[in-house]
Amino acid sequence: MCVKDVAKKVLVQNLNLKEDESFLIVTDETKQNIADIFHEASKTITKDPILAEMVARKKSGEEPPVNISNLMKDSNVVLCITEHSLTHTKARIKATNKGVRVGTMPGVTIDMLEKGAISADYNEIEKLTAEYCAILDYGKKVVIQKNESELNVSIDKRKSISSTGVFKRPGESGNIPSGESYIAPLEDSANGQIIVDGSISGIGVIKEPIMLTIKSGRLVEATGAAGEKLKKILGTGDGRKIAELGIGTNKHARLSGNILEDEKVFGTVHIAFGSNHSFGGNTQADVHIDCVITDPNVWIDSEQVPLN
């Protein structure tokens, strides 16, 4: 299947784009070539689709310009094809609160349109994602172990999010491709250490595992060169607060250094730091960075969670 056909399939299957709906693509100079593919595909579905380009953001979670934000909330369907994620921004929240369906494809590549997570069985993803969300919703205490490290965190009374990559109802949003069950932990509840050996958004695949030390929900130390980069990206403010615990549910996703696909890999979990106000948390920060852990052991309320 050629990439234009894949693009049209995404618009129809994942976003349920209709002929009479207004459609906006938000992009930046780094992803213009891919945005053009989706723009051409969208012309075969709906009339007068809009392609709006902005200057690339410096990190995931950074707000787009005001004029882009206004275009988003005034559309029926929005697809964000950008280098860094707009998923956890106020602009996305304002749009979905108005009933806009929003798909985000941060860091997407031509390779990702040709194979990998985007080719998954979405019925399987919906089933697996629902199963893990049910476990998260009834859970209170989570323990994540990787080799000698252990992180404890509370998810008590927080609601999980099912991210399947399919958005057909008003106000639905998330990544495309997708496949994850995630939740906002209690912000001050995380304590311990955890080894990150997969990838980190904005950094890529980790060449050497790094150890994160978290106290009262806040990242206080991260080892190695990648750890130093992570701390710099997060800054010294609320970007250091734990924001998310997620479980990958896409069996076609590959660990490649692109967090859009990496955090969806089946058998992995990820934690994130920074903003989580968009999915049930209390932190508003101008950053959201995910850290992927491969082959961990996870317990929720003393019951081990099957991850394979």
Tell me what pLDDT residue 231 has: 97
Tell me what pLDDT residue 44 has: 96
Q: How many CA atoms lie within 13 A of 103 on its CB side?
A: 28
d(CA 184, CA 210) in angstroms, rounded, equals 23
- Checking if the pLDDT of 1 tops 90, the result is no
- Checking if the pLDDT of 266 tops 90, the result is yes
Instruction: Tell me the fold of 3-114.
Output: Thermophilic metalloprotease-like (3.40.1830)
For residues 45-60, average pLDDT: 96
pTM of the model: 0.86
pLDDT digits (tens, 9 = 90+) for 178-230: 999 999 999 999 999 999 999 999 999 999 999 999 999 999 999 999 999 99
pLDDT digits (tens, 9 = 90+) for 82-92: 999 999 999 99
- Checking if the pLDDT of 140 tops 80, the result is yes
> Residue 230: enclosing H or E segment and its boundaries?
helix 224-234
d(CA 269, CA 297) in angstroms, rounded, equals 9
pLDDT band at 119 (very low <50, low <70, confident <90, very high): confident
- Checking if the pLDDT of 122 tops 90, the result is no
Q: How many CA atoms lie within 13 A of 121 on its CB side?
A: 6
Tell me what pLDDT residue 116 has: 87
Of 157, 143, 175, 113, nearest to 269 by C-alpha is 143
Tell me what pLDDT residue 271 has: 98
d(CA 118, CA 108) in angstroms, rounded, equals 10
Q: Which part of the chain has CATH 3.40.1830.10? A: 3-114
Tell me what pLDDT residue 295 has: 97
Of 67, 116, 73, 113, nearest to 93 by C-alpha is 73
269 Cβ contact list (under 8 Å, min separation 6): 144, 245, 246, 247, 248, 292, 293, 296, 298, 307
pLDDT band at 308 (very low <50, low <70, confident <90, very high): confident
Tell me what pLDDT residue 100 has: 98
d(CA 270, CA 298) in angstroms, rounded, equals 11
